[in-house]
Amino acid sequence: MIEFFSAIADPAVFATVLRVMTPLLLAALGVLISDRAGVLNIGMEGIMLSGALIGVLVSAATANPFLGLFAALIGGGLLGALMAFFINGLGTQFIITGIALNMAALAATTLGLFLATGDKGMSGALKSGVLPNIDIPLLGGVPILGPLLSGHHMLTYLAILAVPAVAIMLARTPFGLHIRAVGSDPKAAAAAGISRNRVQLYALTLSGVLGGAAGAYLSMGYVSWFAQNMTAGRGFIALAAEVMGMGTAWGTFAAAAVLGIAETVAITMQTKGLPSELMQMIPYIVPAVMLTVYAARRQAKARKIS
């Protein structure tokens, strides 16, 4: 146990956890907002993928990575809004809508990449920028904590700041109240004059914005290009993280951190020569085990009380 903590306190390992966690956390918070509004965003994977491509294309075209990020956020938001239009405007089921979006996004990003670069694999030929790491002025000098907390990617800080922001938004703002009301009982919310369609539209849009940021982190943070299907299932892991987080922002944060640690452990173990297939199972087994343990404990508690 001590070994584990001292390993995590190693700035390099800690930074790995943060990097692995960042896209999961951004996406999972997006899923959280949609879920609390009663329309679980199954299309997160597709939104991330689109955000990743849009960010690269716009950043390459404008030579400004911040405009690229901005475009990724807008693009993600528009896709979220599009989902809301389909679900509430045309009455499609939210699961089908998400699956369809994922399918369409995979095809469309490949096509888009091809149209922009003449290449279906990756955008290496485009000169797209990366978003910067941020050194926190005073903190950087503090021993132990400084190297641990300073100098990470701007979207990592954004993701972590998004946790209290989402928590406060849900608990303390009228919009958050409306989200919780609509997600829990749309009829009752309607009786109070709150339009389910409008709230879900805004919630999915916001969810899409966070998904766009998660995608931009992959293509403008991790690496400086877009590659076909580069999200590699992170949108689905984000769904798992959100469910593990029990519908709260802080819980989602904890779940994303645990998944980040699991993946980091898997990566470190691989360099020690354990079979790669078994290491690749770790990030998938951990959420299943945690989910089940939580559920079992909740059940046991409920039984004890009644």
Chain residues 26-85 in contact with another protein, contact rule CB under 8 A: none
Look at residue 124 and give its three-state secondary structure.
coil
CA atoms within 13 A on the CB side of 273: 0
Minimum CB distance to another protein, residue 53 (Å): 13
Note whether 7 and 247 are within 8 A (CB): no
Minimum CB distance to another protein, residue 18 (Å): 11
Instruction: Single out the residue of 9, 119, 132, 164 in contact with another protein (rule: CB under 8 A).
Output: 119
Minimum CB distance to another protein, residue 14 (Å): 12
Binding mask 175-214 for another protein (x = CB under 8 A): --xx-xx--xx-xxxxxxxxx-------------------
Q: How many helices (H) and strands (E) does the chain have?
A: 13, 2
Residue whose pair of structure tokens reads 């709150």 in the numeric block:
194
Instruction: Choose among 209, 158, 195, 277: nearest CA to 30.
Output: 209
Of 142-150, 151-159, 167-175, 206-214, which segment contacts another protein by CB under 8 A?
167-175
Instruction: Choose among 162, 140, 158: nearest CA to 149.
Output: 140
Closer by beta carbon to another protein, 111 or else 161? 111
According to the binding rule CB under 8 A, does residue 2 interact with another protein?
no
Amino acid at 14: F
Instruction: Single out the residue of 67, 74, 99, 149 in contact with another protein (rule: CB under 8 A).
Output: 99
Closer by beta carbon to another protein, 30 or else 287? 287
CA atoms within 13 A on the CB side of 133: 12
Q: What is the DSSP letter of 126?
A: S
Minimum CB distance to another protein, residue 200 (Å): 15
> Considering CB under 8 A, how many residues would be counted as binding another protein?
97
Minimum CB distance to another protein, residue 118 (Å): 9
Provide the β-strand partners of residue 134. Answer: 152
Question: Is the Cα torsion angle 229, 101, 224, 252 positive or negative in sign?
Answer: negative
According to the binding rule CB under 8 A, does residue 9 interact with another protein?
no
Of 63-71, 73-81, 202-210, 287-295, which segment contacts another protein by CB under 8 A?
287-295
